[in-house]
Amino acid sequence: GEDGALVDHEVNARAIAVSLDRLRRTPERVLISGGRDKLVALAASIRTLEPTTLITDEQSALWLAGRSA
């Protein structure tokens, strides 16, 4: 969701992924995302995953900076 909580979606049953707990324990977490339609998801992912490295576009970076200011 927008708050960073996991969403129970039908695609989860068909996807193979590392558990969120294990991902959070990983020392290096790289988040790559950008684009106007992904801003809310990007912000939620940052709250949930606390990435050590973020790679994004300039527009998204400016939006995030303005939102957290």
- Distance between CA atoms of 25 and 36, rounded to whole angstroms? 29
Q: What is the DSSP letter of 35?
A: S
User: pTM of the full predicted structure?
Assistant: 0.71
Q: In whole numbers, what is the pLDDT of the chain averaged over residues?
A: 86
d(CA 30, CA 66): 22
Pick the residue with more confidence: 67 or 22?
A: 22
pLDDT score at 13: 77
Q: How many residues does the chain have?
A: 69
Residue 37 reports pLDDT greater than 50: yes
What local confidence, expressed as pLDDT, does residue 56 receive? Answer: 97
